[in-house]
Amino acid sequence: MDLAIFLQPAALLALAGLVALELVLAVDNLIFITIVTNRLPPERQPLARRLGLLGAVVTRILLLISAAWLITLTAPWFTVLGQEISGRDLVLIGGGLFLIWKATTEIHDRVMPEDAEEAAAIAAAGGSKYPAFWAVIGQITVLDIVFSLDSVITAIGLTDHLAIMIAAVLLSVAIMILAAEPLARFVNGNPNIVMLALAFLVMIGMTLCAEGLDVHVPKGLVYGAMAFSVIVEGLNMAARRAKRG
Protein backbone atom coordinates (compact mmCIF):
# COMPACT_ATOMS: atom_id res chain seq x y z
CA MET A 1 0.00 0.00 0.00
CA ASP A 2 1.67 3.24 -1.22
CA LEU A 3 1.25 5.88 1.51
CA ALA A 4 2.91 8.50 -0.70
CA ILE A 5 -0.46 8.85 -2.39
CA PHE A 6 -1.54 11.07 0.52
CA LEU A 7 0.92 13.74 -0.62
CA GLN A 8 -0.99 14.29 -3.87
CA PRO A 9 -3.61 17.12 -3.86
CA ALA A 10 -6.09 15.06 -5.91
CA ALA A 11 -5.83 12.22 -3.41
CA LEU A 12 -6.42 14.59 -0.49
CA LEU A 13 -9.52 15.97 -2.22
CA ALA A 14 -10.80 12.41 -2.73
CA LEU A 15 -10.11 11.67 0.94
CA ALA A 16 -12.06 14.76 2.05
CA GLY A 17 -15.00 13.78 -0.15
CA LEU A 18 -15.01 10.21 1.15
CA VAL A 19 -14.83 11.35 4.79
CA ALA A 20 -17.83 13.63 4.17
CA LEU A 21 -19.73 10.73 2.58
CA GLU A 22 -18.85 8.39 5.43
CA LEU A 23 -19.93 10.94 8.04
CA VAL A 24 -23.34 11.39 6.38
CA LEU A 25 -23.92 7.65 6.52
CA ALA A 26 -22.38 7.52 10.00
CA VAL A 27 -25.07 9.85 11.35
CA ASP A 28 -27.76 7.34 10.32
CA ASN A 29 -25.75 4.46 11.75
CA LEU A 30 -25.05 6.26 15.01
CA ILE A 31 -28.69 7.27 15.55
CA PHE A 32 -29.73 3.65 15.10
CA ILE A 33 -27.01 2.39 17.44
CA THR A 34 -27.98 4.93 20.11
CA ILE A 35 -31.69 4.10 20.03
CA VAL A 36 -31.23 0.32 19.97
CA THR A 37 -28.63 0.27 22.76
CA ASN A 38 -30.88 2.42 24.98
CA ARG A 39 -32.93 -0.74 25.58
CA LEU A 40 -29.98 -2.38 27.34
CA PRO A 41 -29.11 -1.94 31.04
CA PRO A 42 -27.41 1.47 31.48
CA GLU A 43 -24.09 -0.07 32.51
CA ARG A 44 -23.90 -2.12 29.28
CA GLN A 45 -24.91 0.60 26.83
CA PRO A 46 -21.42 2.14 26.31
CA LEU A 47 -19.92 -1.30 25.58
CA ALA A 48 -22.68 -2.06 23.07
CA ARG A 49 -22.11 1.27 21.32
CA ARG A 50 -18.37 0.65 21.09
CA LEU A 51 -18.91 -2.86 19.72
CA GLY A 52 -21.41 -1.49 17.20
CA LEU A 53 -18.90 1.10 15.98
CA LEU A 54 -16.12 -1.50 15.88
CA GLY A 55 -18.38 -3.69 13.75
CA ALA A 56 -18.94 -0.74 11.42
CA VAL A 57 -15.22 -0.17 10.79
CA VAL A 58 -14.41 -3.90 10.44
CA THR A 59 -17.30 -4.43 8.01
CA ARG A 60 -16.30 -1.46 5.86
CA ILE A 61 -12.63 -2.46 5.67
CA LEU A 62 -13.46 -6.09 4.81
CA LEU A 63 -15.80 -4.91 2.06
CA LEU A 64 -13.14 -2.53 0.72
CA ILE A 65 -10.58 -5.34 0.57
CA SER A 66 -13.07 -7.49 -1.37
CA ALA A 67 -13.84 -4.69 -3.84
CA ALA A 68 -13.63 -6.98 -6.88
CA TRP A 69 -16.35 -9.21 -5.40
CA LEU A 70 -18.49 -6.17 -4.58
CA ILE A 71 -18.57 -5.15 -8.23
CA THR A 72 -20.29 -8.47 -9.04
CA LEU A 73 -23.09 -7.52 -6.63
CA THR A 74 -24.10 -4.66 -8.92
CA ALA A 75 -24.80 -7.05 -11.83
CA PRO A 76 -28.44 -8.20 -12.22
CA TRP A 77 -29.22 -11.56 -10.59
CA PHE A 78 -32.82 -11.91 -11.76
CA THR A 79 -35.78 -9.90 -13.04
CA VAL A 80 -39.14 -9.30 -11.34
CA LEU A 81 -41.94 -7.58 -13.29
CA GLY A 82 -39.38 -6.11 -15.65
CA GLN A 83 -37.22 -4.83 -12.79
CA GLU A 84 -33.64 -6.13 -12.69
CA ILE A 85 -32.56 -7.06 -9.14
CA SER A 86 -28.90 -7.31 -8.14
CA GLY A 87 -27.27 -8.52 -4.94
CA ARG A 88 -26.76 -4.92 -3.84
CA ASP A 89 -30.46 -4.23 -4.46
CA LEU A 90 -31.46 -7.18 -2.26
CA VAL A 91 -29.22 -5.98 0.57
CA LEU A 92 -30.57 -2.41 0.35
CA ILE A 93 -34.21 -3.52 0.19
CA GLY A 94 -33.78 -6.00 3.04
CA GLY A 95 -31.92 -3.44 5.16
CA GLY A 96 -34.48 -0.76 4.40
CA LEU A 97 -37.38 -3.00 5.40
CA PHE A 98 -35.56 -4.00 8.59
CA LEU A 99 -34.93 -0.34 9.45
CA ILE A 100 -38.58 0.58 8.81
CA TRP A 101 -39.76 -2.34 10.97
CA LYS A 102 -37.38 -1.54 13.81
CA ALA A 103 -38.16 2.19 13.85
CA THR A 104 -41.91 1.54 13.62
CA THR A 105 -41.88 -0.87 16.57
CA GLU A 106 -39.88 1.66 18.61
CA ILE A 107 -42.42 4.38 17.75
CA HIS A 108 -45.26 2.04 18.73
CA ASP A 109 -43.65 1.38 22.12
CA ARG A 110 -43.51 5.11 22.80
CA VAL A 111 -47.01 5.92 21.50
CA MET A 112 -48.56 2.91 23.28
CA PRO A 113 -46.52 2.73 26.52
CA GLU A 114 -48.96 0.34 28.18
CA ASP A 115 -48.05 -2.31 25.60
CA ALA A 116 -44.36 -1.78 26.30
CA GLU A 117 -44.96 -1.99 30.06
CA GLU A 118 -46.91 -5.22 29.61
CA ALA A 119 -44.10 -6.69 27.49
CA ALA A 120 -41.56 -5.60 30.10
CA ALA A 121 -43.61 -7.27 32.85
CA ILE A 122 -43.74 -10.50 30.86
CA ALA A 123 -39.99 -10.33 30.24
CA ALA A 124 -39.38 -9.60 33.92
CA ALA A 125 -41.29 -12.72 34.86
CA GLY A 126 -38.76 -14.64 32.81
CA GLY A 127 -35.87 -13.04 34.62
CA SER A 128 -35.09 -9.79 32.74
CA LYS A 129 -36.89 -6.77 31.31
CA TYR A 130 -34.00 -6.07 28.94
CA PRO A 131 -33.33 -7.66 25.53
CA ALA A 132 -30.39 -10.02 25.13
CA PHE A 133 -27.10 -8.14 24.73
CA TRP A 134 -25.99 -10.08 21.65
CA ALA A 135 -29.44 -9.77 20.06
CA VAL A 136 -28.96 -5.99 20.12
CA ILE A 137 -25.43 -6.35 18.70
CA GLY A 138 -26.89 -8.57 15.97
CA GLN A 139 -29.38 -5.87 14.97
CA ILE A 140 -26.58 -3.30 14.83
CA THR A 141 -24.48 -5.67 12.70
CA VAL A 142 -27.29 -6.03 10.14
CA LEU A 143 -27.46 -2.26 9.67
CA ASP A 144 -23.66 -1.98 9.69
CA ILE A 145 -23.59 -4.28 6.66
CA VAL A 146 -26.28 -2.30 4.82
CA PHE A 147 -24.70 1.11 5.42
CA SER A 148 -21.22 -0.27 4.74
CA LEU A 149 -22.22 -1.81 1.42
CA ASP A 150 -23.79 1.42 0.21
CA SER A 151 -20.84 3.58 1.28
CA VAL A 152 -18.16 1.22 -0.05
CA ILE A 153 -19.72 0.84 -3.50
CA THR A 154 -19.95 4.66 -3.68
CA ALA A 155 -16.34 4.97 -2.49
CA ILE A 156 -15.11 2.59 -5.19
CA GLY A 157 -16.68 4.94 -7.75
CA LEU A 158 -14.82 7.95 -6.33
CA THR A 159 -11.25 6.61 -6.08
CA ASP A 160 -9.15 3.60 -7.05
CA HIS A 161 -6.81 3.86 -4.06
CA LEU A 162 -7.54 1.39 -1.26
CA ALA A 163 -5.36 3.36 1.20
CA ILE A 164 -7.55 6.46 0.75
CA MET A 165 -10.75 4.48 1.23
CA ILE A 166 -9.48 2.80 4.43
CA ALA A 167 -8.19 6.15 5.77
CA ALA A 168 -11.63 7.71 5.16
CA VAL A 169 -13.33 4.87 7.04
CA LEU A 170 -10.93 5.12 9.99
CA LEU A 171 -11.27 8.91 10.23
CA SER A 172 -15.09 8.82 10.08
CA VAL A 173 -15.35 6.05 12.67
CA ALA A 174 -12.95 7.92 14.97
CA ILE A 175 -15.31 10.91 14.78
CA MET A 176 -18.27 8.59 15.42
CA ILE A 177 -16.58 7.20 18.53
CA LEU A 178 -16.02 10.71 19.87
CA ALA A 179 -19.64 11.67 19.13
CA ALA A 180 -21.30 8.47 20.39
CA GLU A 181 -21.55 9.22 24.11
CA PRO A 182 -22.47 12.94 23.79
CA LEU A 183 -25.16 11.99 21.23
CA ALA A 184 -26.51 9.28 23.54
CA ARG A 185 -26.72 11.73 26.45
CA PHE A 186 -28.45 14.32 24.29
CA VAL A 187 -30.99 11.80 22.94
CA ASN A 188 -31.71 10.40 26.41
CA GLY A 189 -32.19 13.89 27.82
CA ASN A 190 -34.59 14.98 25.06
CA PRO A 191 -37.43 12.48 24.44
CA ASN A 192 -38.77 14.58 21.56
CA ILE A 193 -35.49 14.07 19.73
CA VAL A 194 -35.93 10.29 20.02
CA MET A 195 -39.24 10.43 18.14
CA LEU A 196 -37.73 12.71 15.52
CA ALA A 197 -34.77 10.37 15.11
CA LEU A 198 -37.10 7.38 14.71
CA ALA A 199 -39.01 9.27 12.00
CA PHE A 200 -35.66 9.88 10.28
CA LEU A 201 -34.91 6.15 10.40
CA VAL A 202 -38.26 5.36 8.73
CA MET A 203 -37.43 7.87 5.98
CA ILE A 204 -33.93 6.45 5.57
CA GLY A 205 -35.37 2.92 5.38
CA MET A 206 -37.76 4.02 2.63
CA THR A 207 -34.84 5.66 0.81
CA LEU A 208 -32.83 2.43 0.97
CA CYS A 209 -35.78 0.46 -0.45
CA ALA A 210 -36.17 3.01 -3.25
CA GLU A 211 -32.45 2.80 -4.08
CA GLY A 212 -32.74 -0.99 -4.12
CA LEU A 213 -35.50 -0.65 -6.74
CA ASP A 214 -33.29 1.69 -8.83
CA VAL A 215 -35.35 4.76 -7.90
CA HIS A 216 -32.71 7.39 -7.19
CA VAL A 217 -33.57 9.65 -4.27
CA PRO A 218 -31.26 12.70 -4.06
CA LYS A 219 -29.51 12.38 -0.71
CA GLY A 220 -29.18 16.15 -0.52
CA LEU A 221 -32.97 16.39 -0.53
CA VAL A 222 -33.33 13.75 2.20
CA TYR A 223 -30.69 15.21 4.48
CA GLY A 224 -31.89 18.74 3.79
CA ALA A 225 -35.34 17.76 5.06
CA MET A 226 -33.77 16.13 8.11
CA ALA A 227 -31.67 19.23 8.83
CA PHE A 228 -34.76 21.46 8.49
CA SER A 229 -36.67 19.25 10.94
CA VAL A 230 -33.80 19.41 13.45
CA ILE A 231 -33.71 23.22 13.19
CA VAL A 232 -37.48 23.45 13.77
CA GLU A 233 -37.27 21.11 16.78
CA GLY A 234 -34.35 23.14 18.11
CA LEU A 235 -36.50 26.28 17.92
CA ASN A 236 -39.32 24.43 19.73
CA MET A 237 -36.91 23.39 22.48
CA ALA A 238 -35.67 26.96 22.84
CA ALA A 239 -39.25 28.24 23.01
CA ARG A 240 -40.13 25.70 25.74
CA ARG A 241 -37.08 26.72 27.76
CA ALA A 242 -38.04 30.39 27.40
CA LYS A 243 -41.54 29.69 28.72
CA ARG A 244 -40.18 27.77 31.70
CA GLY A 245 -37.73 30.57 32.41
Q: What does the pLDDT read at residue 5?
A: 62
Closest to 213 (Cα-Cα) out of 98, 101, 85: 85
Distance CA 126, CA 106 (A): 22
Instruction: Tell me the pTM.
Output: 0.73
Whether residue 228 contacts residue 62, with contact meaning beta carbons closer than 8 Å, is answered with no
Domain ranges of the chain: 8-244
| pLDDT one digit per residue (tens) for the chain, 245 residues | 555 666 677 777 777 777 777 676 667 677 778 888 888 888 888 888 888 878 877 877 787 777 667 667 778 888 887 888 888 788 888 888 988 998 898 888 878 765 555 555 544 444 455 678 888 888 888 877 777 776 676 666 666 677 777 787 778 778 877 877 887 787 777 777 778 888 888 888 898 888 888 888 887 777 788 778 888 888 888 888 888 86
Distance CA 174, CA 167 (A): 11
Closest to 240 (Cα-Cα) out of 191, 173, 168: 191
Whether residue 92 contacts residue 146, with contact meaning beta carbons closer than 8 Å, is answered with yes
Q: What is the dihedral of CA 92, 214, 168, 15, to 10 degrees?
A: 180
Question: How is residue 215 annotated by DSSP?
Answer: -
Strand positions, DSSP E, 14-134: 76-80, 83-86
